[in-house]
Amino acid sequence: MKIQLDFMAVLSEWPLLLTGVAWTLALTAASVVVGTLVGIACAWVRARGFGATRAPAWLQAVVGAYVELIRNTPFIVQLFFIFFGLPAAGFKLSAETASFIAMVVNLGAYATEIIRAGLEATPRGQMEAAHSLALSDRQTFVWVVLPPALKKVWPSLVSQITIVMLGSSVCGQISTQELSYAADLIQSRNFRSFEAFMVVGAIYLLLAIGTRQLLNWAGAKFLFGRR
């Protein structure tokens, strides 16, 4: 039996593919910014703060429960809970909004532990030197502790961001118009499932490589710098 592949039947649907790529990148970009900020804030709490500013015990317990809950449940369960479960409590969300929230919540939990490792690796002498220069606890954390901590863990954080970007393919299950949703729609029209998912798989590969390269460059350029 001879199999004939017709990739043009998929590529001819380039507007759908382009829309899928745009939504995938938009969701990833937005969730990376917010999720990383959530991770930094929660990592500060998990590391019990710095200097005289200490996170209260109840807040540490809340953040700890959040991190353990998210890291020990599947992303698709978190997504379905937000999209199908919250409406029962009166919070009705669009598919795109639910996807964004789920990606932020997921990335925030993993980023917390990654960033905390960097924070706890910061030498105490470095913080004492900052305080000797009359820097406040907040200034010490933002300008002295956080940049070298991010530099230490940046490769791990970039890998986790890439995983979240690839995990956005699950969001097509609730009709978010990202890349895997486009593949499902295309193959439902022309029945070229193999070709559709081959093309989309190749696009995800390029997006993952591009995302990793961009984040490595952006981290060195804007966050912790290279001297």
**For the whole model, what pTM was predicted?**
0.91
Q: How is residue 43 written in tokens?
A: 């990592």
Helix (H, G, I), strand (E, B) or coil at 47: coil
Helix (H, G, I), strand (E, B) or coil at 107: helix
Residues 6+ apart with CB under 8 A from 139: 130
Distance from first CA to last CA of the chain, Å, rounded? 61
Q: What is the mean pLDDT of residues 129-146?
A: 79
The greatest distance separating any two alpha carbons of the chain, rounded to the nearest whole angstrom, comes to: 78
Q: How confident is the model at residue 131 (pLDDT cuts 50, 70, 90)?
A: low
Write the pLDDT tens digit of every residue in 144-189.
888 889 999 999 999 999 999 999 999 999 999 999 999 999 999 8
Q: How is residue 147 written in tokens?
A: 């940049």
Residue that the structure tokens 């532990």 belong to:
113
Q: How confident is the model at residue 215 (pLDDT cuts 50, 70, 90)?
A: very high
Q: For residue 135, how many other CB atoms are within 10 A of its CB?
A: 17
Check pLDDT > 60 for residue 92: yes
